[in-house]
Amino acid sequence: MSAERDQFGRSIEYLRISVTDRCNFRCLYCMPADGLPWLPRADILSYEEIADVVGQLAPLGLRRVRLTGGEPTIRPQLEKLIAMLRAIPVVEDIALSTNGVKFDEYAPRFREAGLDRVNISADSLRPDRIAKISRRNFSFDPVRAASAATAAGLAPVKLNVVVMRGINDDEIADFARLTLDHPWHVRFIELMPVGEMRDLTWEHVVPSDEVLARAAEIAPLHASSGPAGNGPAAYHAFAGAAGTIGVITPMSHTYCASCNRVRLTADGRLRTCLFGDHEVGLREPLRAGQPLAPLFREALASKPREHALLQMQVGGLRALSQVGG
Ligand code: SAM
Ligand code: SF4
């Protein structure tokens, strides 16, 4: 069955599911140091309810899901949800976005439950800097987390680096070099003006062209098709490298035209654009036993052509942790 299309003819086959708005990190660009007003627990969808939503959207063409948050791995026994989603026959691809804490412990367990692939957020390779950016003191090593993912059979493994001038931009080459020997896809993300970035300003944004130029100082880069699973990144690679280098430029509209995704917030609201405010509440209809297909179609009918990020003020949008970034 082909996927439902929105009013601009885009097939919607990909759902990003926020399983919690909470997190064990307080990344400078995502959350204030003292956290955010968390959702009441009773408002958060249970694993059974999330699986019910996916099961009801699957006949409409949903094929791929990503578990995100907040930090999805802090929700107890996430492998149970992974297994429930794996049991839905038409779901072809189950992915996870995580900050990678304790991932050496989780990777085999999640893989066994049916997880296909993982994106690990890694803004630095230096422990002191990781603590400064995440405002937490976990012993966390992104290379160890990515190695555990590869060893468990998760593929592709992507490392997401939010580049911030004067904070971690001197590590662009170190991250790029990882792709020479490891089958990893390092994706440099431009900092976005969302949430409450009290400690960051526009001056911290490093344009993607500059990132690529700095990576290319190691060796020439050529365009690459990148890993499977079409996303918003443009990929490049060093000759003979095991992995690739991607750049994600959320401020441009380059990927709106092919946007194939919608988002489910932890409290069961369907969002059609990461940077828009339009939402359709699914939790109450779900709990009342109503069918979700008409609500899904209603949401798609209002999916905007493109986001209006460039017109927005820093702090004018909710943090990505609140909407399932
Ligand atoms: N906790 C998980 C993690 O960190 O991967 C999943 C949720 S996190 C909100 C998803 C992604 O959003 C991460 O890769 C993070 O770096 C990115 N992100 C959050 N706020 C951002 C911002 N202001 N600018 C750019 N990327 C951001
Ligand atoms: Fe947590 Fe991810 Fe946001 Fe960092 S980016 S505070 S790890 S949700």
Better-scored residue on pLDDT, 228 or 290: 290
Q: In angstroms, rounded to a whole number, what is the distance separating the alpha carbons of residues 252 and 48? A: 37
Instruction: With cut-offs at 50, 70 and 90, classify the pLDDT of residue 292.
Output: very high
* Helix and strand element counts for the chain (H, E): 10, 14
Q: CA 161, 164, 166, 172 torsion: positive or negative? A: positive
Report the nearest atom of ligand 1 relative to the CA of 200.
23
The Å distance, Cα 37 to ligand 1 centre, comes to 18
What pLDDT sits at residue 38? Answer: 93
Asked whether the beta carbons of 106 and 73 are under 8 A apart, the reply is: yes
- Out of 72-76, 175-179, 299-303, pick the least confident: 299-303
pLDDT tens figures, 191-226:
986 666 667 888 899 999 999 999 999 999 999 988
Q: How far are the Cα atoms of 101, 119, 252 from residue 277, in angstroms, in the given order?
A: 31, 25, 19
Asked whether the beta carbons of 260 and 6 are under 8 A apart, the reply is: no
Instruction: With cut-offs at 50, 70 and 90, classify the pLDDT of residue 266.
Output: very high
Residue type, 91: V
Describe the crossing of helices 78-86 and 47-57 by its angle, rounded to 10 degrees: 20
What pLDDT sits at residue 16? Answer: 93
Long-range interactions of 304-309: CB distance < 8 A, separation 24+: 304/272, 304/273, 304/276, 304/278, 305/8, 305/256, 306/253, 306/256, 306/257, 307/253, 307/256, 307/273, 307/274, 307/275, 307/276, 308/275, 308/276, 309/192, 309/193, 309/250, 309/251, 309/275
Residue 295 lies in a domain: yes
**Domain range for residue 292?**
14-322
Q: In angstroms, rounded to a whole number, what is the distance separating the alpha carbons of residues 10 and 84? A: 28
Residue 25 lies in a domain: yes
pLDDT tens figures, 11-63:
678 899 999 999 999 999 998 888 889 999 999 999 999 999 999 999 888 99
Report the nearest atom of ligand 1 relative to the CA of 160.
14
pLDDT tens figures, 128-153:
999 999 999 888 899 999 999 999 99
Residue 5 lies in a domain: no
Better-scored residue on pLDDT, 206 or 233: 206
Residues with CB under 6 A from ligand 2: 23, 25-27, 30-31, 69-71, 99, 121, 321
The Å distance, Cα 26 to ligand 2 centre, comes to 6
230: Cβ–Cβ under 8 A, 6 or more apart, which residues? 258, 260
Give Rg (Cα) of the chain.
19
The Å distance, Cα 33 to ligand 1 centre, comes to 15
Asked whether the beta carbons of 120 and 103 are under 8 A apart, the reply is: yes
Residue type, 74: I
Report the nearest atom of ligand 1 relative to the CA of 25.
1
DSSP string computed for 76-143: TTHHHHHHHHHTSTT--EEEEEE--TTHHHHHHHHHHHT--EEEEE-S-SSHHHHHHHHTS-----HH
Q: In angstroms, rounded to a whole number, what is the distance separating the alpha carbons of residues 173 and 212? A: 10
What pLDDT sits at residue 116? Answer: 98
* Percent of the chain surpassing pLDDT 90: 66
Better-scored residue on pLDDT, 102 or 317: 102
Q: Residue 169 sits in a domain of what CATH number? A: 3.20.20.70
Residue 8 lies in a domain: no
In the numeric block, the tokens 């500059």 are attached to 210
Residue 2 lies in a domain: no
Residue whose CA is at the smallest distance from ligand 2 atom 4 = 27
The Å distance, Cα 22 to ligand 2 centre, comes to 9
**What six digits make up the tokens of 242?**
């095991």
Please tell me the total count of domains within the chain. Answer: 1
Q: In angstroms, rounded to a whole number, what is the distance separating the alpha carbons of residues 4 and 246? A: 29
The Å distance, Cα 188 to ligand 1 centre, comes to 12
pLDDT of 177 higher than 90: yes
What pLDDT sits at residue 6? Answer: 63
What pLDDT sits at residue 138? Answer: 84
What pLDDT sits at residue 296? Answer: 86
- Counting ligands in written order, the one closest to the CA of 136 is 2
What pLDDT sits at residue 188? Answer: 96
Provide the mean pLDDT of the chain. Answer: 88
Better-scored residue on pLDDT, 308 or 23: 23
57: Cβ–Cβ under 8 A, 6 or more apart, which residues? 15, 292, 293, 296
Residue 179 lies in a domain: yes
Tell me, using a 6 A CB cutoff, whether residue 97 lines ligand 1: yes
Residue 7 lies in a domain: no
Residue 199 lies in a domain: yes
What pLDDT sits at residue 233? Answer: 81
What pLDDT sits at residue 274? Answer: 66
